Amino acid sequence: MDIFANLVLGLETALSYQNLTYCLLGVVLGMIFGVMPGIGTLASISMLFPITFYLEPTTALIMLAGVWYGSSYGGSIASILLNIPGTPSSAVTALDGYPMSRQGRGGVALFMTTVASFVGGCFGIIVLIAFAPVIAPHALRFGSAEYFALMLFGLVAASTISAGSMVKGLAMVVLGLMLGTVGADMYTGIPRFSFGFLELSQAVSIVALAMGIFGVSEVITMIRRIKPGDIDPKSVTMRAMIPTREDWRRSWAPMLRGSAIGTFFGTLPGTGPSIASFMSYAMEKRSAAEPERFGKGAIEGIMGPESANNAADQTAFIPTLTLGIPGSATMALMLGALMVHGIAPGPTLLTQQAPLFWGLVMSFWIGNLMLLVLNIPMIGLWVRMLMIPYNLLYPAILMFICIGTYTVNNSVFDIWLVVLFGFLGYVMRIFEWPAAPLLLGFVLGPMMESHFRRALLLSRGDFATFFESTIAATAMGLTLAVVLWGMWSSHRRRKSRILAQNVD
C-alpha cells in the first residue's frame, strides 16, 4: 500500500529542520498563551496567526497546529491549578482536576493529563491516517448542490448542538455569513457592503474578526475579575508529578473509552472536542463503581475527557482537510490559514498537496511528543506565569493583538476593525450570543454562497437540486433532523423550567 510511502513522505517533511523548529515554537508559544488566564485556544491561535504569514504554508499549518494543542493543554493547566477554564472542554477537566490540586495532587493531575492527551491524540491520528484518504476520492464527485447541503448541515449542527440556545446559535451563523458577504461579489466584482471604504472592497480580515471577537472581548470581561492564584508550589514539583500505581490502574480504561468517544465525535461536523469531553465525563461517571467520587478529585474524571478532547481535535481535521468543511471555530481558523496561503482545501488537497497533508499529520505526533516532554521541565514556569496579576497581563495581550493585526496587511484600518469587533464581541456576551458559530459562518460564507448560486444556475433555478442526489438529500434530511431535535430539546427545557418556577 502506498500509505507507507505517504507516511515516510510526511515524516520527512515534518522532520525537516525548519518544520521541527516551528512545531516546537508553536507548541511552546501555544502553551504559554494557553496558560495565561482568560486566553482560550481560539484567542491564542488568532494572536499567533499573523506570525505564520511569513512562513511556507506547510510550516505555517504545522506551527498553528502546534499552537492549537499547546494552548489546549495550557488551558488544562490553568483549569486544574486555578479552576479558570479557558475553553468548554477544559471546564470538564476542572471538575475533577481542581479538587485534585486542592488535595495536593495537582502535579499528578498535570502529568496524567499529558499522558491522556497523548494517548487520545495518537488514537485520533491513526483514524485520521486511515480514513482521510478513503473519504477524499468520494468527495471528488461532489457537485455544488452536495457541497451546499453539507455546509448547511455543518453550520446548523455546529450552532444547534454545541451552543446553549439553537435560535441564538443560528442567528450568529447568519451574522457570520453576512460579514462574509462584505467585499467584491465573486461573479460581478461589485463591492458589497463596503460603504465607500476601499479596505472593505476586498473582504473583512479574518484576523481582525477573530482578535476582536475572541481576544478583545475576553479581556473586557476578565478585567477586575481574575485574582492572581494561590497555588501551593509544593504540589507541582517534579517529584509530586509521579502518579501512583493506583492512578495508572484507574486510568487506562477511561483513556481508551475517551479516545473512542473523541474519535467518533471529532469527525462529525459541528460537535467537536467540547461535546466529546462532556460525553466522556458523563460516561465515566455512569460506568464508575463509586460515582460519588466524581467532582471530588477522581482521576477517571480527567483522563476520559482529556483523551476524548485530544482525539476529537485530531479527527476534526478529517472533514476540514478532505471536504473543506470545518466542524469547529478552531478548524475554521485553520482553514482560513490555508486560504490565506492560497491553498484550496478539499478532496484534491490530499493528492496535490501531499507533503502538506502528510507532513501535518506526522507533525501531530511529533508535537504531541514535544508536549509530553516539555511539560515536565517547564511546569515551574507555568506555575509562576499563573501568578502574574491580570492587570499587568492584559495591556500586554492588547499590545500583541494590535500589533499582530496591523502586521497582517500593514493596515491601520484593520485595527479599527478590531475595535469594532471587540465591541461587537462584548455586546454578544451581554446577549449570550455565541461567538464560535459566527466565525464558522464567516469562513464558510463565501464558499457557501458560490455553491448555492452555482447549483441553482445549473438546475435553472430549481430548488429540487438540493434533494436529488443521495448525499445532498441525506445532508438536508440530517439538517432537518438536527433542527427538530433542537426545537424539541429546547421545548423540554422550557417545560421543566416552567415547572420549576411553579414550584418556587
Partner 1 sequence: MFSRDYRDIVGGLILVLLGLAFSGYAITQYDLGTLRRMGPGMFPAMLGAAMALLGVLQVIPALMRRGQMPEVRIFSPIFVLSGCAAFALTLTSFGLLPAVAALTIVSSLAELEIRPWRLGLLVVALCLIAWLVFGIGFGLNLPMYRWPF
Here the cell at position 184 is 467584491
Closest listed residue to residue 250, CA positions, set 388, 353, 112, 359: 112
- Cell, residue 107: 502535579
**In this structure, is the dihedral angle defined by the CA atoms of residues 35, 41, 46 and 52, taken in order, positive or negative?**
positive
Shortest separation between residue 461's beta carbon and partner 1, angstroms: 3
What is the smallest separation between the CB atom of 420 and partner 1, expressed in angstroms? 9
Binding site for partner 1 (CB under 8 A): 51, 54, 165, 167-168, 170-171, 174-175, 177-178, 181, 185, 187-188, 190, 192-193, 216, 219-221, 223-224, 391-392, 394-396, 398-399, 401-403, 406-407, 410, 412, 415-416, 418-419, 422-423, 426, 430-433, 449, 452-453, 456-457, 460-461, 463, 494, 497-498, 501
Shorter beta-carbon distance to partner 1: residue 212 or 359: 212
Q: Give 128 or 177: the residue with its C-beta nearer to partner 1.
A: 177
Closer of 193 and 488 to partner 1 (Cβ): 193
Min dist CB 397 to partner 1, Å, is 10
Runs of H (alpha helix) within 182-271: 206-210, 217-222, 245-267
**Min separation Cβ 332 and partner 1, Å:** 18
CB of 346 to partner 1, least distance (A): 21
| β-sheet bridge partners, residue 184 | 191
Distance CA 420, CA 398 (A): 14
Cell of 160: 444547534
Considering the complex, state which of residue 17 and residue 431 has its C-beta at the smaller distance from partner 1: 431
Residue placing its CB nearer to partner 1 in the complex, 175 or 333:
175
Number of H helices, E strands in the chain: 22, 2
Transcribe 3-58 into DSSP letters.
HHHHHHHHHHHHTSHHHHHHHHHHHHHHHHHHHSTT--HHHHHHHHGGGGGGS-HH
Joined together, the cell numbers standing for residue 489 give: 430539546
The residue behind cell 448542490 is 145
Indicate the residue among 203 and 402 with the shorter CB distance to partner 1. 402
User: Rounded to an integer, what is the distance from CA 478 to the centroid of its chain?
Assistant: 23
Residue 220 or 339: the one with the smaller Cβ distance to partner 1 is: 220
Q: What's the CA gap between 173 and 480, in Å, rounded?
A: 16
Min CB(443)–partner 1 separation in Å: 15
CB of 43 vs partner 1, minimal distance in Å = 14
